[in-house]
Chains A and B, each alone.
Chain A
Amino acid sequence: MADQLILRPRSEHRFHASPGGRSMKALLQRLPIETYVVTFTVALWIALSLTAPNFLTENNITNLMRQTSIAAIVAIGVMCTIVIAGIDLSVGSVVAFCGVAFAQLCGHGLGLAAAAAITVLAGLAVGLINAVAIGRLGIPAFIVTLAGLQVYRGLALLLSGGMTVGGLPSNVKDFARGTAVLPNLFWTMLVVGLLFHYVLRYTRTGRYLYAMGSNAEAARRQGINTFRITLTAYVMSSGLAALGGLLLVSRLSIASPSMANAYELQAIAAAVVGGASLFGGRGTVLGAVVGAVLFTTMSNGAVLLSVDPFWEMVLEGLLIALVVYLDNLQKRRQSGN
């Protein structure tokens, strides 16, 4: 019943026959929300291929894949909370906390699979706590997850005694170093991406996330269990952050309490540049992934072109502003103004 009433994600405008046919305006209205980020990324790739001789090499593309994967996985999770008009600022700290927990569990003789399973469970528990604080206690998501940013970084420090945790079994790092045509990290990102794409677009729960983000009160009145949806979003976010922690430890072959510093901001930036709206109801997996690719490419390109590191930061900031501005224009067109 509720199924038929809820709003469809706006990204699906392209599937509707638009009144007005082939005019430019109608075409712009039908553009999917990832248009700008994809355009920018493709343009940047072409520009870099022409200007930086070593950009389009197998080695560099493999590096880019490895560098993007973890950021993209974390961004997909944060995007899920943004879709319900929430936010998750705790992910960077959860990556570090889970990474350190995983390394410590391995160090205490637990098998890899068991250590990884416990770590992911810990990540899911973080999501549960966030959701209860937000959905049941009524504390704003911004505050809850800001507290989490402190708490889980603190726990990472406590668990590690402030030290880098090394001495991990060599098969931990073998995963991130390994390739099966494409790097294992990239395959992981693809699997996570496809899974979340499917859930968000084709399942009832996924639709409810968008419905709640568009109008929480309306969603509630239509009989959607908004707490359950809040729980889903935050568990997705923390769960993916925990996975990110495992992958980061594998990549670095150590765990450090200072790792994943400011990942939450990178993840939010990737999601928003990829078309997610901080007001909720809007955001796609493809957008978040391409957003992450765009930032990795900028950083990579800045090194290849010897751009001053301080200018690189300025350019990245300006890029976020520009893409979101264009995206807002698009949104206004879509809403018919």
Chain B
Amino acid sequence: MQWKTMLAASVALSTLIGLNAARAEESIAVIVKATTSEYWQWVFKGAEDAGKALGVKIDKLGTPKDDAAGQIAVLESAAGSKPTAVVISPTIFEALGDPIAAVTKSGIPVVIIDSGAKTDQYAAFLTTNNEAGGKAAAEAVAACIKERTGKVAGKVGYLTAMAGHESLDSRDKGFVEGMKAYPDIKLVGNRVANNEEAEGMNFTADMVTKDPDLVGLFADNAQMGTGAGASVNEQKLGAKLCLVAFDSDAGELEHLKDGSIYALVIQDPYMMGYGGVWYGYAAAHGVRLPKNVDTGVGTVTKANMNDPKLAGLLDVSKRKLGPFIGN
């Protein structure tokens, strides 16, 4: 009795497996840094739209929060299921280098998006030039200070969302370098938060308490931008403090509209996901690709936020396939 059931079950199972193999469709694994952040949801959306266009199944993977060891495990198990290609945004530059090289060696093309990894064994690297983004933020801060006071001078600080992240470090580096071009600007402080809005809010209030004459502040991601914007709004400092933040989420947009944030430096996560999948698919089918692609950054202020060209960047739900943004 029992062995008959077992036999029937195994026959059914092998039929299923056979069917699946016959129908084997192409799939691309998209591995992001943190599934809990809005930015990566837009990357997923771009990837899915590309998947639909190409007729490829998209596996949306990643760890809930930045976690290099967890991401390596996700990468290894994704590679184990032999996808057509892997698209990944490495959490930590050093840590993901060798695992990515190993996947490339196993014959699966890897497209890196957003942040780099310590390897040259990849098919293509699509990224915002984060350092250029930081510089763009510095220029926006300077422009704002000049607009309000007539000269570029005074104290400026910046908020880092998390310690030890390549893309954030590059933004900060670009910002600090960019500010050095203005000799009368004095960099007075940097705070590192736990990537949490309320903490960004508290730090902003405390930095203004320490330096009541602070004229500029850079928040290097959406969480920090939302928190800093809320603090500027609470203390009604919008006309005094030039706040520039990276990315755009609902909170940042609200504060751009109410004047608490002067400018947003925006990236193009949708096209990063879209392009990543497209490049991965092309690489798997033997297309030679440019190794490094700059997906561009743009600066949005209250003055140009209604420009239809920027609509899909500010509110990514409106973004469709289009050229990478250039500055």
- 9 A-B pairs with least C-beta separation: A166-B250, A303-B206, A254-B251, A309-B192, A164-B249, A164-B250, A162-B41, A261-B196, A163-B38
Which residues of A have CB within 8 Å of B263? none
What does the 1/0 interface line of A218-251 toward B look like (CB < 8 Å)? 0000000000000000000000000000001001
User: Residue on B with the closest CB to A306?
Assistant: B189
Question: Quick check: B201 and A254 within 8 Å, CB to CB?
Answer: no
Question: Quick check: A177 and B234 within 8 Å, CB to CB?
Answer: yes
Interface positions of B from 169 to 217, Cβ below 8 Å from A: 189-192, 194-198, 201-203, 205-207, 209-210, 212
What does the 1/0 interface line of A301-323 toward B look like (CB < 8 Å)? 00110100110000000000000
B40 at the interface (CB under 8 A from A): yes
B127 at the interface (CB under 8 A from A): no
B254 at the interface (CB under 8 A from A): yes
Using A163-B249, A164-B38 as known contacts, say yes or no to A252 and B227 having CB atoms under 8 A apart. yes
Question: Quick check: B190 and A258 within 8 Å, CB to CB?
Answer: no
Question: Quick check: A303 and B197 within 8 Å, CB to CB?
Answer: no
Q: Measured between C-beta atoms, what is the minimum distance from A177 to chain B in Å? A: 5
Which residues of B have CB within 8 Å of A167? 250, 254
What does the 1/0 interface line of B22-36 toward A look like (CB < 8 Å)? 000000000000011
Question: Quick check: B195 and A258 within 8 Å, CB to CB?
Answer: yes
Question: Quick check: A254 and B40 within 8 Å, CB to CB?
Answer: no
Q: Which of A11-19, A54-62, A119-127 contacts its partner? A: A54-62
Using A164-B251, A260-B198, A303-B206 as known contacts, say yes or no to A153 and B38 having CB atoms under 8 A apart. no
Using A258-B195, A260-B196 as known contacts, say yes or no to A306 and B210 having CB atoms under 8 A apart. yes
A165 at the interface (CB under 8 A from B): yes
Which residues of B have CB within 8 Å of A59? 209
Q: Measured between C-beta atoms, what is the minimum distance from B140 to chain A in Å? A: 22
A6 at the interface (CB under 8 A from B): no
Q: Measured between C-beta atoms, what is the minimum distance from A94 to chain B in Å? A: 15
Q: Measured between C-beta atoms, what is the minimum distance from B232 to chain A in Å? A: 12
Question: Quick check: B192 and A54 within 8 Å, CB to CB?
Answer: no
Which DSSP category, helix, strand, loop or mixed, fits chain B's interface?
helix
Question: Quick check: A54 and B210 within 8 Å, CB to CB?
Answer: yes
A188 at the interface (CB under 8 A from B): no
B222 at the interface (CB under 8 A from A): yes
Q: Measured between C-beta atoms, what is the minimum distance from B325 to chain A in Å? A: 21
Q: Measured between C-beta atoms, what is the minimum distance from A201 to chain B in Å? A: 30
Interface positions of A from 253 to 294, Cβ below 8 Å from B: 253-254, 256-262
Question: Quick check: A252 and B254 within 8 Å, CB to CB?
Answer: no
What does the 1/0 interface line of A58-75 toward B look like (CB < 8 Å)? 011001001100100000
What does the 1/0 interface line of A178-201 toward B look like (CB < 8 Å)? 000000000000000000000000
